[in-house]
C-alpha cells in the first residue's frame, strides 16, 4: 500500500470522526425537528442522508492522491466528472444523471442532470459546480463542509481537498444528484457499513 493511500485512509477516518461529531448536534428526531430553530444556519440532516453522505465521502477520500487524467474514470486516473461518477456509483449505486447540452464537458452534463439547490440546503455529498462565461460548467467537486470540497483538481494536485472560497469567482451552483438521500429509490435497504 502506497504512502498516498495510507494518508488517504487516515484522512477518511479523521473526516468521518469530524462529520459524526459535527452532525450529531444537529440531527434531531422528526418530532422535534419541526419545532427547533436553526441556531447556526445549518440544515437538519436526517439519518438517511447522513448515512449516504458518510458512505460517499468515505469512498471519495480513499482516492486522495490519485492522479488527474483528462477523461479518466477509474482509480488512479480521474478527471473531475469521472471522479464524481465513480464515487457515487461505488458508494451508493447511483450514477449521476447526465443531460446532454450540445458538445460539452462531463461536468456540464452532470450540472444539467442534477437538482439545483440553495446554499442553505447543501449537505456533505452534494455537488459544487464552477464555470466560466465562455465554456459553461467546467469543473465539479463533492461538497464536504462549509468551505471544503474534494475533487479531481488538476494534473498538479490530483484528487485532493480544495477550499470552495478560492473558486468563488467561478462558482455557479450547488446541485443534488437525483436519488441522493432516498434509499427507496435505489434499493430496498441501505448498503451495509
Residue range 151-191, pLDDT digits in tens: 999 999 999 999 999 888 899 999 999 888 765 444 444 44
Name the grid cell of 132.
466560466
Q: Which residue has the higher pLDDT, 126 or 105?
A: 126
Backbone angles phi, psi at 171, to 5 degrees: -60, 135
Q: Which three cell numbers stand for residue 75?
A: 482509480
Q: Bridge partners of 142?
A: 127, 150
Domain boundaries, the chain: 3-30+44-179
CATH label, 3-30+44-179, candidates 3.40.640.10, 3.90.1720.10, 3.40.140.10, 3.30.2310.20? 3.90.1720.10
pLDDT of amino acid 69: 95
The C-alpha cell 437538519 sits at 44
pTM: predicted TM-score of the whole model, two decimal places: 0.71
Q: pLDDT for 85-106, tens place per residue? A: 999 999 999 888 766 555 556 8
Amino acid at each position: 500500500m502506497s504512502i498516498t493511500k495510507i494518508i488517504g485512509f487516515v484522512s477518511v477516518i479523521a473526516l468521518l470522526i469530524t462529520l459524526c461529531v459535527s452532525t450529531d448536534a444537529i440531527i434531531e428526531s422528526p418530532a422535534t425537528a419541526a419545532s427547533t430553530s436553526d441556531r447556526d444556519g445549518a440544515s437538519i440532516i436526517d439519518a438517511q442522508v447522513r448515512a449516504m453522505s458518510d458512505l460517499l465521502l468515505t469512498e471519495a477520500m480513499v482516492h486522495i492522491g490519485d492522479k488527474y487524467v483528462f477523461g479518466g474514470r477509474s482509480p488512479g486516473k480521474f478527471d473531475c466528472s469521472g471522479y464524481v461518477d465513480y464515487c457515487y456509483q461505488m458508494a451508493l449505486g447511483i450514477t449521476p444523471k447526465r443531460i446532454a447540452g450540445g458538445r460539452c464537458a462531463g461536468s456540464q452534463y452532470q450540472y444539467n442532470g442534477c437538482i439545483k439547490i440553495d446554499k442553505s440546503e447543501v449537505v456533505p455529498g452534494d455537488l459544487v459546480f464552477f464555470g466560466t462565461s465562455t465554456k459553461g460548467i467546467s469543473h465539479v467537486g463533492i461538497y464536504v463542509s462549509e468551505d471544503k470540497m474534494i475533487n479531481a483538481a488538476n494534473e498538479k494536485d490530483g484528487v485532493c481537498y480544495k477550499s470552495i472560497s478560492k473558486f468563488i469567482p467561478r462558482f455557479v451552483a450547488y446541485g443534488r444528484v437525483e436519488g441522493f438521500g432516498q434509499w427507496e429509490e435505489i434499493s430496498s435497504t441501505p448498503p451495509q457499513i
